[in-house]
Structure 1
Amino acid sequence: MGYVAFGTDPYAAHQRLLRLCGSPRTVLDVGGSSGYLGRELARRGAEVVVIDNDPEAVAGASQAGMDAHVVDITRQDPPGRPGGYDVVLCGDVLEHLADPAAALRRLRPLVAPEGRLVASVPNGANWALRLSLLAGRWNYTDRGLLDRTHLRNFTRRTFLATIRAGGFEVVETDVTCPIPVLRGGRLSAAAHAAARALPGLLAYQHLALARPAVN
C-alpha cells in the first residue's frame, strides 16, 4: 500500500498491529521496509530482525541500527532458527505476493509453538472500491487500496482462508478505518467500531493474529 509515516493514532494500522504483537522477545518483521515498526518493537524490548526485498529500504533499516537483511520470501528462507520468533509480522505484505499462502508456509517453521503471526492486508471489498467498480473505474495508484504493486486482492474471507492455508489458526481479527479528520477521540473510536461491525464493507484493512496450526 506504499510506505507511510509511523502512525500514533490508537486506531491507526501501526498501532493496531503493535497491539496484536503483544510483548514479544523476538520478532521477524517481514517486508519491514526501513524498520519503522521494528524500531518501535525494539524500543519496547524486543530483539527484531527486519527483512525486505528492497535493498534501499534494508540499507535504511541498517543505518537506523536494525538487524536487517535483503530477503525475497518467495524464493529465500529468512534468517533464524526453527521456532525462534515469538512474532512474525507481515504488515501489508501478502498482497504483494503471487502465492501468499506458500510464503506463509515458508515462514511458519520460524514461529515459536506459542508464538504468533500478525498480518494485515488492504480490504479489496471496501465500499469505495465497490463504488468505483459500479462506476466502471478501477484505476491503480502509487499507494492505497489500488497500489499498482499489489498482485492479490483480499476480502476478509479470502484473507483468513489464506492464513489457514499457510498453516496457521486465526485467533483474533481487527480492522482499520482511517478517516483523517477523525484522528483520535470518540469519533475515531466510533468509526473503528462501525468497521468492526461491518468489516467487509467499511474496513480499510483487515488484520489478524494467528497461531501455528497443530497438525
Structure 2
Amino acid sequence: MDDQVIEQTHDYGVKRDEYFSTPRYDYVDLMPAGAASVLEIGCGTGATGHHARSEGKAAFCVGVEMFEPVAIKARDVLDAVHIGNIEQMDLPYEEETFDFLIMSEVLEHLIDPQAVVSRLVKLLKIGGRVFASSPNISHLAVIRHLMRGRFDYVEEGVMDKTHLRWFTPSSFATLFTEAGVTVDHLGSVYPSPIAHRLLAAAIGRPSAAWQRLNVHGHRTA
C-alpha cells in the first residue's frame, strides 16, 4: 500500500460510523423488483446492498471498499467485497455483468475519476443503470467562502479533507456521458432549504442550492 493510500485510510478512521453504514434508500427505491446484480464502489459496511437484497431487488451484490475495517463487515452481508483502491485494481468480472453500478460519495476521493468511471461502466449491461452522487463545488456556501478568499478543508461536507476532486453539475454529468452513459436525471440528493433556493434563483444559478449532486443514468455504449 503506497503512502498516499495509507494517509487516506488513516483519515477515514476518524469518520463517524454513519459515514460508512447509511444505506442509499433513494437508489434502492428506484430499482425494480427482481434478481438484479449490483456493483457498489465505496460500499462501506454493505448497507445499501443489504437493503436492496432485503427489499427483493438484488440477488448478487458486490462491493469495493478501501477502508479495511468496514470492508470486513460488508463481507457479512454482500456476496463479494474487494478491499483496496479501485484505481489500483482490476475487478474479476466480465464486461456487461451488472445491472446496477452505484458510486455514492466516492468519485471525489479519486485521482482520475474519469478513467475509473469509463472502466467500470463497461461492467454494466447495455441499459444497465448508474446511480452516483458527489459534493457540488458550486454550492452557495463554497461560493461565499471563495469570495472571502477561503478554501479551507474540514472533517466532512463539500470541503472534506479526504476529497481530491470536485465537480459542478455540468462537469459531473460530463463524467458519465463521456463514459457512454446517458444521464436521465441530474439534481440534488436532498431538497435544498427554501432560502438557498431563492438566493440561487436570484443569482441565476438554481443548481447553486444543491449541496450534493445526484446522477441517474443508463449505459448506452
Aligned to 2:90: 77
Report SS of the residue matched to 1:63. coil
- Say whether the 8 Å CA contact 2:99–2:129 is kept in structure 1: yes
Aligned to 2:42: 31
- Say whether the 8 Å CA contact 2:37–2:100 is kept in structure 1: yes
1:85, distance to aligned residue in structure 2 (A): 0.8
Amino acid at match of 1:44: E
Deviations 1:120-152 (A, max 9, x none): 111111101111111222211111111111111
1:116, distance to aligned residue in structure 2 (A): 0.9
Is 1:87 equivalent to 2:87 in the alignment?
Answer: no
Is 1:116 equivalent to 2:129 in the alignment?
Answer: yes
* Separation in structure 2 between the aligned mates of residue 6 and residue 195 of structure 1, nearest angstrom: 30
Is 1:6 equivalent to 2:13 in the alignment?
Answer: no
Aligned to 1:140: 153
Report SS of the residue matched to 2:75. helix
Aligned to 2:69: 56
* Separation in structure 2 between the aligned mates of residue 195 and residue 72 of structure 1, nearest angstrom: 39
Aligned to 2:8: none
Aligned to 2:111: 98
* Separation in structure 2 between the aligned mates of residue 196 and residue 27 of structure 1, nearest angstrom: 36
Q: 1:195 to 1:173 in 2, by over 3 A?
A: farther
1:213, distance to aligned residue in structure 2 (A): 3.0
Aligned to 2:5: none
1:71, distance to aligned residue in structure 2 (A): 3.9
Is 1:18 equivalent to 2:28 in the alignment?
Answer: yes
* Separation in structure 1 between the aligned mates of residue 40 and residue 195 of structure 2, nearest angstrom: 28
TM-score normalised per structure 2: 0.78
Give the alignment's Cα RMSD to 1 decimal. 2.8
User: Which runs of no fewer than 5 residues in structure 1 stay unpaired?
Assistant: 8-13, 180-187
* Separation in structure 2 between the aligned mates of residue 178 and residue 207 of structure 1, nearest angstrom: 11
Deviations 1:57-80 (A, max 9, x none): 211111345532214221212243
53-62 vs 151-160, which moves further: 53-62
Report SS of the residue matched to 1:143. coil
- Say whether the 8 Å CA contact 1:86–1:111 is kept in structure 2: yes
* Separation in structure 1 between the aligned mates of residue 93 and residue 136 of structure 2, nearest angstrom: 31
Report SS of the residue matched to 1:148. coil
* More contact order relative to length (CA 8 Å, sep ≥ 6): 1
* Separation in structure 2 between the aligned mates of residue 196 and residue 78 of structure 1, nearest angstrom: 41
Deviations 1:171-197 (A, max 9, x none): 222313467xxxxxxxx7x68987998
Q: 1:58 to 1:194 in 2, by over 3 A?
A: farther
* Separation in structure 2 between the aligned mates of residue 15 and residue 168 of structure 1, nearest angstrom: 22
- Say whether the 8 Å CA contact 1:195–1:203 is kept in structure 2: no
Q: 1:19 to 1:113 in 2, by over 3 A?
A: same
Aligned to 1:42: 53
Aligned to 1:184: none
Q: 1:131 to 1:28 in 2, by over 3 A?
A: same
Report SS of the residue matched to 2:87. coil
